[in-house]
Structure 1
Amino acid sequence: MKTCSKFFIGIDVSKPYFDASLLCVIDQQKQQIQTLRFENSIQGLKEFHKWLKKHKVTMNENTLLVIENTGIYHRLLWAFCCEKNLPIHIGNAAHIKWSFGIARGKSDRVDSIRLCQYAYRNAEELKSSSILDPVLLQIQDLMASRRRLVSQLKSNEVYLNELKNISNIDNRLILERLHRDAIKGISNSISKIETLLKKIVSENEKIKKNYDLLISVPGIGHLTAIYIICCTCNFACRRSGKQLASYAGVVPFEHSSGISIKGRNRVSNMANKELKKMLHLCALSAIQFYPEFKCYFERKTGEGKHKMSVINAIRNKIVLRAAAVVIKQMPYISKYNVLA
């Protein structure tokens, strides 16, 4: 009689190394969890592959590997799984941590065992992450670099403004000149990144198609469209509008408990703050330049709604429209313009 074997792997990734835990389930009988540490390098992945072969791990749907999203540290492992056709689930760190319940003690080895057990318990619900796309990774890295440079630019501009309080004029002029040179250099770097982003988007047919659909939505501009594509892996994860809105932190949730807590509905603090900030600017732009949103804003504020509550509703509308145009593969057409 043929035995049925399933394998569940949990890996805790750090910069220098990763800890792997392996649970074999043979004919629905759990075996002892095996653990081992490997270097987070090409050589370490070769050793990891040998370790998997030693335990007769199959590289197919009978195996599931779970890791937390670590930004860049898990990329080698992600590429390895894509190359070997090993199903991998890259999970949200906070969501996975809360699923452990009350957990006492912490170490890399213990965390890998917990991830392994998480994979076993939730195997039916966990979806494999999309295949590693080098173009999307390049765009993500460029967007992250631009974000850092913009932060540095604002910091230098603020300091340059504060230099006006220095009484020593000669010293102030020297510092102003130095900071203006720095601001000019940072501004040039930001411009080069934005030019490169446009070039990459225009040269990739799949990304360009979704990009054109996104910028057809009122309020969404060049950078916001690219960032949404990054967050959704060019919508490979098939996020619905409601899921994307929740991820962006623009969905209000009920806040009440019995008779002691009766607060108004509020958005969750668990959100992609960068995307939320971009959507806020999109909403302000939509209110200013698009009659559809301008009329909605004026009507709701006239009814006594709080200004920020209405702006959040517009952010939500923009996200829902963004997801809809990509899912339907049709550009946005405003009914307001059609009726007008």
Structure 2
Amino acid sequence: MNKYKETFGVDISKDVFDVHGSNKGHDQYKNDETGFKKFLKELPKCSLVVMEATGYYHYRLAQFLYKNGVIVSVVNPLSIKRFIQMKLAKVKTDKSDAKAICEYALINEVPIYNALTDTQSECLQLFRLLDTYLKQRTATKNKIHGEAVLGIPSKFVYRSLIRNKKQLNKEVAAIESKILSLVKEDQQEQLTLLMSIPGIGQKTALFLIVVTDGFSKFETASQLCSYVGITPTIREWGAV
């Protein structure tokens, strides 16, 4: 099934990334630009590099390789986990995971990675930061309420919490404004269409456009529903 000259499975951690080549075997590189360049230099032409989606860690390497003409695939970590479980593997290390990713790619068709544009990348970063600030704001509001329940709240503590909430409100508003301006530059038509649907406001529309890259990442509605986690899992056994 695999049509590439050589396939490489990559397991990425904070400081290093382990690589297993279908012909070359195991190697390890630093998870920085020096390590990226060394790995790129040693890659044979017409190779496929496969890695798991691991939040922040996989992104830099995937973008670097893609921009240097390497064919990259970023796969769902759950697929690799199930593959390893199916093999009844007793060893779980970064080295063994890199080998498992390579073996998975050799017998399965994997999706080809398309690098994010600078605008898409910035929007995703902004949404992650927005999520952090919203959680902090909720925690601050709860703390203000909790201090008030005490009956004799410290004036210093109360004023500090109020200042913190005001600053978070300011940051949230600035981020939302920036996301809106970025989306309008590239996806104004999509934004207008989404907001014309009853029940979908500006925030939901912005989130959907950014997460789906203007709905270009998914071919069907069911794929989108699965991605955002609103598809129920049915489990049945025994007599009904």
TM value normalised by structure 1: 0.65
Deviation, 1:253, is 4.4
1:195 is matched with 177
Q: Decide which structure has the larger Cα Rg and report it.
A: 1
Deviation, 1:5, is 6.2
CA distance in 2, matches of 1:182, 1:252: 39
1:22 corresponds to 2:21: yes
Where do residues 49-198 of structure 1 align in structure 2 (5 Å cutoff)?
A: 49-52=40-43, 57-59=44-46, 63-100=47-84, 101=86, 102-122=88-108, 125-167=109-151, 169=152, 172-198=154-180
CA contact (8 A) 2:9 2:102 kept: yes
User: What is the CA RMSD across the aligned residues, in angstroms?
Assistant: 1.9
Letter aligned with residue 45 of structure 2: T
CA contact (8 A) 2:180 2:206 kept: no
What are the ranges of 5 or more consecutive residues in structure 2 without an aligned counterpart?
Answer: none
> Please, which of 199, 212, 236 is the counterpart of residue 192 of structure 2?
212
From the superposition, tell whether residues 110 and 216 of structure 1 become closer, same or farther in structure 2 (CA, over 3 Å).
same
TM value normalised by structure 2: 0.90
CA contact (8 A) 1:78 1:132 kept: no
Which SS does the other structure have where 2:217 is aligned? coil
What are the ranges of 5 or more consecutive residues in structure 1 without an aligned counterpart?
Answer: 25-32, 263-340
1:6-60 C-alpha deviation (Å, 9 max, x unpaired)? 2111000112111111114xxxxxxxx41111111111111101221xxxx214x
1:48-100 C-alpha deviation (Å, 9 max, x unpaired)? 01221xxxx214xxx32211111121122112222222221111112221122
CA distance in 2, matches of 1:234, 1:222: 14
CA distance in 2, matches of 1:236, 1:111: 30
> Please, which of 220, 225, 240 is the counterpart of residue 220 of structure 2?
240
From the superposition, tell whether residues 106 and 254 of structure 1 become closer, same or farther in structure 2 (CA, over 3 Å).
closer
CA distance in 1, matches of 2:193, 2:236: 39
2:34 is matched with 43
Deviation, 1:191, is 0.5
Deviation, 1:252, is 3.7
CA distance in 1, matches of 2:94, 2:232: 36
Letter aligned with residue 64 of structure 1: L
| Number of matched pairs | 236
Which SS does the other structure have where 1:143 is aligned? helix
Higher relative contact order (CA 8 A, sep 6+): 2
CA distance in 2, matches of 1:99, 1:202: 41
Which SS does the other structure have where 1:254 is aligned? coil
CA contact (8 A) 1:40 1:76 kept: no
From the superposition, tell whether residues 5 and 138 of structure 1 become closer, same or farther in structure 2 (CA, over 3 Å).
closer
Letter aligned with residue 58 of structure 1: K
CA distance in 2, matches of 1:66, 1:229: 26
